[in-house]
Chains A and B, each alone.
Chain A
Amino acid sequence: MSGSRPVQSRIQGWVWIAALVAAIAMPWVFYNYHTGRHSGFVVSMLSQMGMMTILALSYNMLLGQAGLFSLCHATFFGIGGYATIHFLTLAGDGSLPLPLELFPLLAGLSGLGLAIVFGYMATKQRATAFAMITLGIGELMTTAALMFHHFFGGEGGVNSNRMIGHSLLGFKYGAAIQVYYLIVGWTVISALAMLYLTRTPLGRMANASRDNFERVQFMGYDPRMVRFLQFALSGFFAGIGGGLYAITYEIVTFDALAAPLSANALLMAYIGGTSAFGGPILGAVLITLLQSGVSLMSNSWLVYVGALFISMVIFAPNGIMGLIAAHDPIVRGGRFGRLIVPYAKVLVPGIVMVLGFIGLVELASFLTIGAAQGKTLVLFGTRIDDHAPLPWLSAGLCLVGGGLWFGREARSFRRVWQGLMAELQPKRSLA
């Protein structure tokens, strides 16, 4: 076991580097060399992925690492955004002579400040009581954002201009692509800092108090202090994300601190996997893809996000990273090849089932929202009548039939899996 550890961490290192290279190269993959322009859609989606990565990672400092179920994480993201807009305005007036690259740091400090105040209240409690307090804080802040016009700008929000003419690197930050690379830079810095935090005494004691807060007390630590510090620091990073949001969009409304964004943070961290450090990054990328990509194609994209979330909670509570990690002993035992055929057997009915589900959702959606918008459902160039029984019947058949078939294959897959695990068992205990 100790022999394979360095190999594993080397692979992990390469995955990190590959992800970074992909993040840097991606805008150029979609670069239009005829017009000499970047794809605005791709750059803005990638920028969103960067901010959401920071948000999800900072949320996981609470949920995954400290076992704290917070419902107000967007508060600190949002306050970072609002503060940055005001800082930008100050800078535009010439009264804040700082380069733009450092503004996310100010945003982080704003997030930290607010997280210290709210964290002091919320971290008095843990578990359900903690979640309740954070729910209250989130609602309080949403209301405040609509009440205090001077700072939050009411429903219209506040706006400013990021071209303050001050830069460390000599950029003007007029073009979205320049802002994107600023986001990449801050995302890397924040992710590394949060990774570092997991390997410090505080980070470790946060894990410890997640597993067993009473034991922590009898080791000299005040679990409340551990919760408080972890909460404050996670607010700092969320604030950085919000700062980048403000720089990107140059406008911040109460959406940036309202409950749906807090729920998104939870969704991203959970779907990606809370027990691995990289899980929330994966979740942020995936959910952003769904949000920007699928939302263009379908009115009902939220249904798909919801279905994905529910199936993850039921079938893969450790998220995508948890699914990957479950394969670890099999890959190390060199038996992964034996899973390929069973996987293919599950995949086919799985696809049929999912297509059936999508068919029903889309038919329903075109029947209601689509009709109101005057749209018609067109598949492979043929117009499909959403009032006729045939499309409904075939979609329903795919869902039910595919589901039953999938269930059968899934059971035989489980048998293969358990057989492999049993084979590997004695080997592992010897090592």
Chain B
Amino acid sequence: MRGTLDTLPDYDPETTLPPPYAALPPGPAQVLLAEDDPAMRELVAVALAGDGYRVLEAADGLAFATRLSQLIFSEWPEGPIDVIVSDLRMPTFNGLDIVAALRDAGVQTPVVLMTAFPSDETRERARELGAVLFDKPFELDDLRACVTRLLQAKGGAPH
């Protein structure tokens, strides 16, 4: 199934928990999507949801960090997060710093970072953190393929 304009729900960043996709039957792989730009977040969310994943959205660095801390302290009610897709530059917290903290905490969840025209240093740092870096603007198909690959490598697949 593919996300289309027709299937796009009304969007409200404040109501990202639970997102509309939470209504999907339990079991699909869960993707945590952090992106401060609503249009971009919606676009990626639609694309991933169209592939059958359950997409959990965070509207900024703070929401992202909060989600992740819940994940680390096992307070996350909806089960483990399989893939993290995050913007790099967000208000409050930088995506790279958050992923670095995650890795420090011993969480090895696959991470896809998105950023506009990254510098060589950014690329290097992302590589060190074991994150895949997507250079905005990128093709949505590439991102979808990447998430699928990461999940397959992890042993899970969308339902």
Tell me whether A and B are bound partners: no
